[in-house]
Amino acid sequence: MVVSSKFEYEDAIEFGIDKKKLAVIPAGLDFQYPPREKTLGDEGPLKILFVGRIARVRRVELLLQAVQKLAFPWKAVIVGGEEQTSSVQAGGYLAELKTLSRELGIENRVSFEGPQKPESLAAYYAAADIFVYPSLYENFSQPMLEAAAAGLPLVATPVGVARELVQNGRTGFLTDGDPESIQQRIEQLQDSGLRRDMGNNISKLAGERYNWDAIIQQYMELYRSL
């Protein structure tokens, strides 16, 4: 059985799968991203990006609560359409997030962009400064890998591929997900030099580990071992 991350590997063991029958091989990615639009000399608000299906498990409200506390200029861009991950889960989450942004007094600094085609996402990654992902649970999370490939430092909970991509202080920060913790990590990334170094580190890591040649090689080695 092939799983896509250490997080999913631990889940499989908890479900009763024998360790000897498990292999961790992640999803791959085509690394064709445009150059970063913003440079170290650029002025303007810190642009914070979230990309993903808008579901309650993603806990986007924690991101909104965190950015509301920031004392410097910022802009948050939320990309994705609403999706219910369970038939018993209440709908209307996206509307709740928009209401929350108004209640927090940040509606003019939060942009809900809706679902985007894959070919349009690259422009959002290129225009952003950092990527924040406060999800409660993920098997993998392709958006985090895409953000890493685009050179965005990650502020993420330790779910899905985050544990492989995020080296604290080098490629981003892992957080337990409470708004204060997210706020503090974003504040650290106000430093443009730190963002540049982290962005270079994480894009290099993603390119080395998640290009399709590397992924295919892992599958070939697995098949040969059987």
Could you list the mean pLDDT of each consecutive 10-residue stretch along the chain, which spans 226 residues? 89 90 88 56 84 95 97 96 66 93 97 92 93 94 94 96 94 95 96 93 92 92 91
- The phi, psi pair for 223, rounded to 5°, reads -60, -40
Range 33-210: architecture per CATH:
3-Layer(aba) Sandwich (3.40)
For residue 130, the model assigns a pLDDT of: 97
For residue 118, the model assigns a pLDDT of: 85
For residue 157, the model assigns a pLDDT of: 97
The C-alpha atoms of residue 226 and residue 219 are separated, in whole angstroms, by 11
Q: Where are the alpha helices (DSSP H) in 31-178?
A: 60-67, 93-103, 118-127, 142-149, 162-165
Q: Are 156 and 174 in contact (CB under 8 A)?
A: yes
Q: Are 7 and 26 in contact (CB under 8 A)?
A: no
Residue 74 pairs in a beta bridge with 46
Q: What is the pTM of this model?
A: 0.89
* CB-side neighbour CA atoms (13 Å) of 63: 32
The C-alpha atoms of residue 66 and residue 188 are separated, in whole angstroms, by 13
Q: Are 185 and 156 in contact (CB under 8 A)?
A: no
Secondary structure of residue 78 in the 3-state scheme = strand
